[in-house]
Amino acid sequence: MDKTNEKKLILEIRSGMYNEPLKTTGTESFEGNRTMYKWTEKHSDQEKETHFMLTLIKEESKAIVVRNGDVTSRMVFEAGKKTTNSMKTSFGVIDVVIDTEYINFPGGLVNGAEISYTLDPDSGEPIRNIFSIKKLLQNEEI
């Protein structure tokens, strides 16, 4: 991919999986009808850095999240549909079904994206979550 259209920015990541929103540097880029965000997370000293790439495809009502770190996965979210995915963890591979309620795409008043979904792992204990990524407008150093 041509890196010249990659723009560095500050992102705010919110997820029900974490108590506090995460502010981190990342990039935004465009390829055809796709919007892509890349960022890195590290929530504790025991955890290694995790690299994320979120690809948003508005015309298909689809979002794809690739995660590489202690957990490696490629999760597909499709609005109004269930998708089957798997996560590679230190405990082995965990299959999950993702039931995506909605995806809010960038544009208009939305300065990022939001995905509402239920993740149902092998254990059969569904986890409801809303994930959002927002571009921050502050002039902080990157």
Domain containing 88 — which CATH number? Answer: 2.40.128.20
Q: Is the pLDDT of residue 3 over 90?
A: no
73, amino acid identity: S
Calculate the average pLDDT of the chain: 89
In a domain, 141, yes or no: no
Name the 3-class secondary structure at 3: helix
Residue 49 CA to residue 60 CA, distance in Å, equals 31
Query: Span 72-92, mean pLDDT?
Result: 95
Query: Span 112-140, mean pLDDT?
Result: 86
Residue 4: band (very low, low, confident or very high) from pLDDT cuts 50, 70, 90: low
Name the 3-class secondary structure at 5: helix
Domain count, the chain: 1
**Residues facing residue 19 across a β-bridge:** none
What pLDDT, on a 0 to 100 scale, did the predictor assign at position 45? 81
Residue 135 CA to residue 102 CA, distance in Å, equals 20
Instruction: Kindly state the helix (H) or strand (E) to which residue 30 belongs, with its residue range.
Output: strand 22-31
| Full residue range of the structural domain in which residue 100 is found | 3-135
In a domain, 44, yes or no: yes
Query: Span 49-63, mean pLDDT?
Result: 96
Global pTM exceeds 0.75? yes
In a domain, 142, yes or no: no
In a domain, 140, yes or no: no
What pLDDT, on a 0 to 100 scale, did the predictor assign at position 139? 53
Name the 3-class secondary structure at 58: helix
Q: Please name the residue ranges forming H helices in the chain.
A: none
